[in-house]
Structure 1
Amino acid sequence: MEMQDAAVKEEQREEDQGAYESLLTAQSKEGSDRAHYSELQKPSEDVYAEACFGATNKTQDKPPQGAMQCYRVGCLILTLVCLGLLVTVIVLVIKCGSTDCPENPVPQPYDMNQSKTCRSKGAPGCYCYSECPTGWLRLDKSCFYLSTFRLSWEKSQKNCSEEGGSLAVISSHKIQNFLTQKGKDIKYWIGLRLIGTTWTWLNNTVVGQSYWRDNVTQGDCGILSSGDQTENNWMKYSCRAYTYYICQLPLQTAILEV
């Protein structure tokens, strides 16, 4: 009887031991599963960083479309501004070209009907000579106009005076040579006339150096024959005769504003 009870107890103890080991095995497996699940729920910092920074780099490699459009518009505006400034500088450089002021200028009334510009690098207040009117030729401080039609001496002088000048007064060899070269083999009235027995210029000065031809003709007004040699191409003609004429206009002056 005692042997039987002991066998029963031993069998029961073995069953309890097996049940305990099974419980331990189940708990161990459950813990392993939880650890694996925890790793899936909380990925490593390296994986997280790679995902985040990888995405950031891809975004930086390709700027947004809106930013590109703004950049292009900004470049276009800047280019247009630069071109505008360049054109302004070029216009100012051309407009602000200069002619030097004379050292001892002689003030003259400024005729607004003549040249409208007086350009200078000199100090404000100095007198600057302007440009000749369109179609006139400049020599030093005078402008000359060689007509393209014929008139009498009196009518030629009237036309010249309406332009603010007079028939040409040849006061130097330089002017004589200049008008002879520009005349192109044409005969022109000049501001020379006979008053009494004296040949006088329109400015009432008596003729000093002269350039009369050897075969002097008869007349009371003077002509420059540009087809002849410079040293002897003045001729005498009747003031009522018709031929071309040369007007002379002094370069006007203006005072630079301060």
Structure 2
Amino acid sequence: MDVELDMIAAAEEKRKEIEGERGAKSGVTKGDEEATNDYSPLNQPTENIYSEALALRTPIMYDKDDYKRIRLYRGISVALLFLCLILLIVVAVMGTKLNSQPECAAKMTSVSGTCSPETCRTIYPLEKTCKRYCSTCERGWLKHEGSCYYLSERTLSWDMSRKECQRKGGDLVVIGNQTVQTFLSSRAKLTYWIGLSHEGSGPWTWINGTPLSESFWAPEKAQQGGCALLEKSQSEKNWRVSHCASNTYYICQKTV
């Protein structure tokens, strides 16, 4: 029994040796076969690579309608570009004008509180624009025609009132026509000195030396005094006479 087992084992070993010799002769193992299959695509490039490269080199053909559409789109793009440039220029110009025409308040001085005529003309060369954006009368003054008027809030004598008006750059008001009389009468809330006076029995004369030609004396009895007042009244005939040393309010005037 043992002899038979030894013979079977020897026969099995012999069979394995024979199979091993056959595999060595063929020179290809299962692993080598798989490796060969992995590199086969590199050794044999496919035709798809060349076909794709050829497709990239082939120019795209357009018909006439395609060219027309392309030209149309290009024209529209150029027109839109020019329109954007024009709008940009307009915005830039408008911004420059707005920055170069600031509010008059930005140019005000701490004393006058407004633009001087010289400053106004410098900022706004055109007279119409200057009048629109920049008041040429100081704060607290009223503009009428070519003059600025100041109705005081404190009382002084006629002489001191005139000095105060001169200190402000003007003088006591000269009412030379109906328009000025109407303007001041509509704004008078008190009694004010005006720039009209006389000495003794001499004629009434304005501070600028012109004689009185048009007057608006109130219809009342004559009073003594050498200086004229403008009173608050429903009527424009609201001048009366008072002593020049009396203290009352006053109206200053200066030319724009």
Q: CA deviation digits over 1:146-171, x for unaligned, max 9?
A: 11111111111111122221110001
What does residue 194 of structure 1 align with? 198
Letter paired with 1:189: W
Give the direction of change, closer, same or farther, for the CA distance of 1:36–1:86 in structure 2 (3 Å limit): farther
Note if contact 1:115-1:133 (Cα within 8 Å) is conserved in structure 2. Answer: no
Letter paired with 2:251: I
Give the direction of change, closer, same or farther, for the CA distance of 1:39–1:96 in structure 2 (3 Å limit): farther
Gapped regions of structure 2 (runs ≥ 5)? 1-17, 49-92, 106-114, 128-133
Q: Does 1:213 align with 2:215?
A: no
What does residue 32 of structure 1 align with? 33
Note if contact 1:117-1:131 (Cα within 8 Å) is conserved in structure 2. Answer: no
Note if contact 2:157-2:244 (Cα within 8 Å) is conserved in structure 1. Answer: yes
TM-score (norm 1): 0.55
Distance between the aligned counterparts of 2:25 and 2:188, measured in 1?
131
* Shift, 1:86, TM fit: 9.7
Give the direction of change, closer, same or farther, for the CA distance of 1:183–1:221 in structure 2 (3 Å limit): same
Letter paired with 1:26: S
What does residue 169 of structure 2 align with? 164
Q: 1:94 aligned to 98, 102, 120, which one? A: 102
* Shift, 1:24, TM fit: 9.1
Q: CA deviation digits over 1:101-159, x for unaligned, max 9?
A: xxxxxxxxxxxx96662233349xxxxx9712222111121111111111111111111
Letter paired with 1:32: E
Note if contact 2:142-2:149 (Cα within 8 Å) is conserved in structure 1. Answer: yes
* Shift, 1:35, TM fit: 1.2
Q: Which has the higher contact order (CA 8 A, sep 6+)?
A: 1
Give the direction of change, closer, same or farther, for the CA distance of 1:242–1:96 in structure 2 (3 Å limit): closer
* Shift, 1:200, TM fit: 0.7
What does residue 132 of structure 1 align with? 137
* Shift, 1:41, TM fit: 8.9
Structure that is richer in helix per residue: 2
Distance between the aligned counterparts of 1:39 and 1:178, measured in 2?
110
Give the direction of change, closer, same or farther, for the CA distance of 1:239–1:34 in structure 2 (3 Å limit): closer
Give the direction of change, closer, same or farther, for the CA distance of 1:161–1:122 in structure 2 (3 Å limit): same
Q: 1:148 aligned to 145, 153, 159, which one? A: 153
Letter paired with 1:22: R
Letter paired with 2:120: C
What does residue 22 of structure 1 align with? 22
Letter paired with 1:160: C
Structure that is richer in strand per residue: 1
Letter paired with 2:101: V
Give the direction of change, closer, same or farther, for the CA distance of 1:235–1:122 in structure 2 (3 Å limit): same
Q: What secondary structure is seen at the aligned counterpart in 1 of 2:120? A: coil
Give the direction of change, closer, same or farther, for the CA distance of 1:180–1:96 in structure 2 (3 Å limit): closer
* Shift, 1:194, TM fit: 1.5
Distance between the aligned counterparts of 1:137 and 1:206, measured in 2?
26
Distance between the aligned counterparts of 1:235 and 1:194, measured in 2?
13
Once superposed, what is the RMSD of the aligned Cα atoms? 3.9
Distance between the aligned counterparts of 1:163 and 1:96, measured in 2?
21
* Shift, 1:36, TM fit: 2.5
Distance between the aligned counterparts of 2:204 and 2:125, measured in 1?
43
Distance between the aligned counterparts of 1:241 and 1:96, measured in 2?
39
Q: What secondary structure is seen at the aligned counterpart in 2 of 1:247? A: strand
Provide the aligned length of Structure 1 versus Structure 2. Answer: 172
* Shift, 1:201, TM fit: 0.4
Letter paired with 1:198: P
* Shift, 1:226, TM fit: 2.2
Give the direction of change, closer, same or farther, for the CA distance of 1:203–1:137 in structure 2 (3 Å limit): same
TM-score (norm 2): 0.56
Note if contact 1:187-1:227 (Cα within 8 Å) is conserved in structure 2. Answer: no
Gapped regions of structure 1 (runs ≥ 5)? 1-17, 47-84, 98-112, 124-128, 252-258
